[in-house]
Amino acid sequence: MHPVAAACPSRTARLHVPGGCDTISSVIRAVHRRSGRKRRGLPVAVTLAAVVVAAQPVNASADEAAGIPGTGPCATDAWRHESLVPTELDIPVPYPVITTVPYPAPEPVPVRVEPDPLPADPCADPCPDLTDEPERTPPSVPRIGLKPSPFHFGLPVPGSEPEPSVPGPGGRNAPIEPAPLVPAPSAPNVVEVTTVAKQTGAGSINRTDKRWQVYGTDLGIMWESEPGRIAVAFGDTVGKGFHPPGGQGEDWRSNVLAFSTDRDLADGMTFDSMVQDSRCHAAEILSSRKLDNVEITVIPTSGFAVGPRQYLTYMSIRTWNSIPATWWTNHGGIAYSDDGGSTWTKDPNTRWDNIFGVTNFQVAAAVPAEGYVYLFGTPNTRLGSVALARVPEGRVLEPDAYQYWRDGNWTHEGGFTAATAVVHGPAAELSVRYDAAARRWQMAYLDTAKAAIVLRESHTPQGAWSESARLVGVEEHAELYGGFLHPWSTDEDVYFMLSTWSDYNTFLLRTRIER
């Protein structure tokens, strides 16, 4: 057994483990990687240790967080981590299909509705006719099924012309400017990490299954969309029929978006609303072709706002069917919204193509700071290193305005493929924030070698970055990934969103750092 599998969860709040920890050793399920629609490779952490936390049900706080009427937890809701041994598992069996693929991709006309007010009682279901399901009785023995799945070989054909993009101020290549490394600070002194609340799915404080038909989802990428309001972007999302591990179920959406004005995060983050396309139904905000081996899905990787305009960085996933801890992207890109996040446009020019499957900025984390937007990026794996770019805030959609950090300089020469690493891997699913008050940069990510979410700090975006400090590992949340920082965190009190594959939902955690 890997050493972490023998450790009891010592820092997991609201999980009461009677009589120590029940563990299962040698539970390595490579088939998880290909289960359901979300077939991203399982974190390498899973191959290092497999842990079952035998937890009593966790009751949601009865204290309603700040928010609109009807939001907040229901005192009768409870949750526990799912077992690492699945009760149901559908194994996709690919079969080849030749498919004509129009370029550029046709974009559906978005449908949006104004949501009805939630019931004043947070325990009341706003749409029981849509969300009530028969009770699922787990099978007495695990059910494993084979699911034929098309694997497309695309034949490009001309598509309809895209809408013309708004021309930028146009211009010149960015100048070359020095950006030397500065001495690295010491690693952050993490003294406490607690699990605050389950944020999505059944039994969560937001009851997303009943309010927006979000039964299973992951990520939870946060940014301040306007003063006093946080936007939260999620990845592949499923509705009725959901059963973990991963995103198995019906009503698949590649991504959804929630909003929160909750400033008291000590009992969880209450969602006020989600972007909806029908009654009690969260909308997909970035469309995808949903054709495996062409474009199976589109996943947000970070968000930010410059003035009233919202931006999302995203990755266009060609296929999850790859070696463990990797996936294959078509490109990383930027989308924008001018209506508060309701509808989005993928900019056709601001993208980073995945050349030979190894280029950087496929998975990006963007942070506005001091007049620039800084873009941290990794390749399409959980194994790569972190590169860095920057662009003036007013020129985000101008590819020739980007400067890439290369050997101590900001430069356009060589482009994004020539950027040098600011943090060496393995690093997966970055999240970066800048604390303007402390003039400190923080970076969280999944370190697959350490089987944990880690935190680094720096005085400048290019570094040097500190050694990493462990935040939470598989002994506390098995099959974890993500680790997305809340922008309202402080220098000593950091909140972040965690996902687990076995639950296929998200959790808010709190970190205390001693300065």
Predicted TM-score (pTM) of this structure: 0.87
- Helix or strand run (H / E) with residue 46: helix 44-48
Residue boundaries of the structural domains of the chain: 1-127+145-159+172-515
Tens digit of each residue's pLDDT (9 = 90 or more) over 243-264: 999 999 999 999 999 999 999 9
Contacts of 237 (CB under 8 A, 6+ apart): 214, 216, 217, 247, 252, 253, 254, 255, 256, 282, 284
Q: Say which residue, 118 or 58, is predicted with more confidence.
A: 118
pLDDT-derived band at 164 (thresholds 50, 70, 90) equals low
pLDDT tens sequence across 452-507: 999 999 999 999 999 999 999 999 999 999 999 999 999 999 999 999 999 999 99
Give the count of beta carbons closer than 10 Å to the beta carbon of residue 75. 14
Helix (H, G, I), strand (E, B) or coil at 476: coil
**Mean pLDDT across the chain:** 86
In the numeric block, the tokens 């794996």 are attached to 381
Torsion of the alpha carbons at 351, 354, 355 and 358, rounded to the nearest 10: 130
C-alpha dihedral (449, 453, 459, 462), degrees to nearest 10: 50
188-223: per-residue pLDDT in tens?
999 999 999 999 999 999 999 999 999 999 999 999
pLDDT score at 317 = 97
- Work out whether strand 143-158 and strand 88-103 pair parallel, antiparallel, or are unpaired: parallel
Q: How many CB atoms lie within 10 A of CB 442?
A: 25
CATH 2.115.10.20 correct for 1-127+145-159+172-515 = yes
Which pLDDT value is given to residue 163?
A: 56
